[in-house]
Structure 1
């Protein structure tokens, strides 16, 4: 591979914004990709994937390059040189790469690869919490899987098309996909491609949604005609899936504390042809209380650490703090206590997170069932999805039923 100066400069600019100014990696990359209209698909892929790679391996590369935060541009070029050297890419004769110690880089890599927190490029506290909650062997496998680049998975919108028709339509655009056994509405891209520019996306035939995330709506056992409440709907990835499973029949009330996310949900619902969704902003406790004992199904896709989705959000490793996890666990239990009251007698509730930590998952459900609010519920089943076993994001989901 030959390195091109303008592409490398874009990567360095992006890393400056992510590491030194705290910007979110996905937003920075969106901006970078608009820089030069002459860039082809390969150029854009280089900028996006190299930026994500260096973000993912920040601690390891900084340690090898012997640089510390805040990183100035020279520091970032040294980390870039580590990235290129470890991939066998020949460094061009640019001033930024003068005196790069190639043999030392490889030697340091071999040395640091024996220590998990460096090998997997994670903060000390994250390594400790993962080890404590999952055990050494399991955590080693899981964090290694969470450092792999995520596949692009589509969820077919069955309100508008079928899996077979969409696969054919994408194939005609030279985008090849595979069916995934056990994921009824999923298509996996064989190679990364910009699917958002396709007519199929603009017509609402699919959404990009990880395979593990697609399991959650299925777990809710919805039927056409039900009243369903998605309590932490956000921009509506799972809400839209529920709408398709309900065949647009019945009512989905999509709740969130952030009104701007619900505006995005409205836009997506229109594109998807999902007409049975009613967004409601939680601006007071009245919104929740009005729904007490009214829902056949309630989904709590709870706010969480997001440790199960590090493959697609590698910058979360550096933004997340242990105090946040302590705080979010209190929020999770509070949400379970309050929102479970919306389930009618005989109705069902799914509690889900995109975390792999038992303290955010099965321990939260166990604490809820022991509480006064949870005394009327039974745990029917739960599913602990680990990235190293599934090949997709880490997730947890529990199905509970309110007793007669």
Structure 2
């Protein structure tokens, strides 16, 4: 199967079967042995086409008379791929983008659709004037099309950050995310892990944010990384690794992670405890609990106890029992759009607006589980105030027994001095967006 045919198959799985882009791509790579050059091309074409999303459809509308929804799904996907190659992949000649798309149309369509695909793509290649996004009307529409984001999301970012920062954020979201690994210090040192990676030809460097993190800029597929199967490291974002350090668990602590799956932060906490004490990993979904158990087993961690429960009830089950509690709550994930290429198109404004209430309810329940003198940490991988500082401030106003604790003692020097709540912004800090607040229960 050639690269474009493979990309089409993966994209149809994403568009028609609602598969997650990363899962669909990794599933294909697991089932098919490919050269690195082919794997990189397919990845770029699939992720790029998904990321460009509605921008590609808007362009298509400028060149056809029929509604886009009336174009057969397979042909529509072939056109999306073709447009992406023409306008966004500089190393692909226009002739190749058109000819290869026509070949796909011949395989999956009929004479009429072959002529249709050929005519549309050659029209775009010949005359790109219709791709002028300034004709869409309004600055938010222009930014949305130019930087491939839903317009409602651009408006949200504009309200939060203003025009210039919104553009910078959207530009950052379109960059390629490096692979971030957390060294499992129970099995090897960071130095040993990095030495192993370099011997395998992986281009990597130590993180400036977390002492256990190694950031890889060039690497083979995850399925080829035997050290992951051996539990010597775990894939985890740099910014999310800060959470375990802010919790600062002791080997004798009882720590509860109320929304634990898939277990990255949970296992990090357990490792910092030296595999001693106890970490209760809670999640509402049984199938996600299995992921935590599998990760813990692979990493050689035995101090984790799993619990299946709605996080909003955790306080009643463990009232005043825990030394440390982490509420890493469900969120909009707007800080990790660079890493999750399909997320921007799968979210809705209505879904995001419902989240703060759920986040507050989980935080209140988590607080009940903290013993007097204990620590409560609230975190998200999003970047908007309504899910972050506003939730924490609302909670503190209603709970005088809790007070914010300074974070500087738990953060690297480059992140110190930012106040009592840490907000990492992707386009400012060059990492995934993340929020962390640490509170102590006084009585």
TM normalised by structure 1 equals 0.92
Q: List alignment gaps of at least 5 residues for structure 1.
A: none
Deviation of 1:133 (Å): 2.2
SS at match of 1:280: strand
In structure 2, relative to structure 1, the CA distance for the partners of 1:109 and 1:54 (3 Å cut) is farther
In structure 2, relative to structure 1, the CA distance for the partners of 1:122 and 1:182 (3 Å cut) is closer
| Contact preservation (8 Å) 1:228, 1:298 | yes
| Contact preservation (8 Å) 1:333, 1:364 | yes
Deviation of 1:272 (Å): 0.6
Please state if 1:322 is matched with 2:349.
Answer: yes
Aligned to 1:105: 128
Deviation of 1:109 (Å): 5.5
| Contact preservation (8 Å) 1:82, 1:105 | no
In structure 2, relative to structure 1, the CA distance for the partners of 1:222 and 1:70 (3 Å cut) is farther
In 1: Cα distance, 2:55 partner to 2:176 partner: 17
Aligned to 2:74: 73
In 1: Cα distance, 2:273 partner to 2:175 partner: 34
Aligned to 2:432: 393
Alignment of 1:155-170 (within 5 A): 155-170=182-197
Alignment of 1:284-363 (within 5 A): 288-363=315-390
In 1: Cα distance, 2:312 partner to 2:438 partner: 25
| Contact preservation (8 Å) 2:312, 2:361 | no
In 2: Cα distance, 1:362 partner to 1:212 partner: 17
Which structure shows the bigger proportion of residues in helix conformation? Answer: 2
Deviation of 1:396 (Å): 0.6
* Cα deviations by residue, 1:60-103 (Å, 9 ceiling, x for unpaired): 22222227347622222222222212223113334256232214
In structure 2, relative to structure 1, the CA distance for the partners of 1:305 and 1:242 (3 Å cut) is same
Deviation of 1:165 (Å): 0.5
TM normalised by structure 2 equals 0.84
Aligned to 2:21: 25
Deviation of 1:259 (Å): 1.2
SS at match of 2:439: strand
2:210 corresponds, among 169, 172, 183, to: 183
| Contact preservation (8 Å) 1:25, 1:52 | yes
In 2: Cα distance, 1:388 partner to 1:199 partner: 33
2:58 corresponds, among 60, 63, 66, to: 63
* Cα deviations by residue, 1:126-183 (Å, 9 ceiling, x for unpaired): 1112211223232222222122111111111111111111111122222231112232
| Contact preservation (8 Å) 1:220, 1:350 | yes
In 1: Cα distance, 2:310 partner to 2:358 partner: 17
Aligned to 2:49: 54
SS at match of 2:335: helix
Give the number of aligned pairs.
397
| Contact preservation (8 Å) 2:147, 2:171 | yes
Deviation of 1:35 (Å): 4.9
Please state if 1:253 is matched with 2:253.
Answer: no
CA-based RMSD of the aligned residues comes to 2.1
In structure 2, relative to structure 1, the CA distance for the partners of 1:267 and 1:170 (3 Å cut) is same
In 1: Cα distance, 2:199 partner to 2:359 partner: 45
Deviation of 1:198 (Å): 2.8
In 2: Cα distance, 1:243 partner to 1:35 partner: 34
In structure 2, relative to structure 1, the CA distance for the partners of 1:125 and 1:283 (3 Å cut) is closer
SS at match of 2:301: coil
Aligned to 2:9: 13
In 1: Cα distance, 2:437 partner to 2:310 partner: 27
* Cα deviations by residue, 1:199-219 (Å, 9 ceiling, x for unpaired): 322221100111111111111
| Contact preservation (8 Å) 1:156, 1:205 | yes
Please state if 1:83 is matched with 2:84.
Answer: yes
| Contact preservation (8 Å) 1:183, 1:211 | yes
Higher mean C-alpha displacement, 174-183 vs 93-102: 93-102
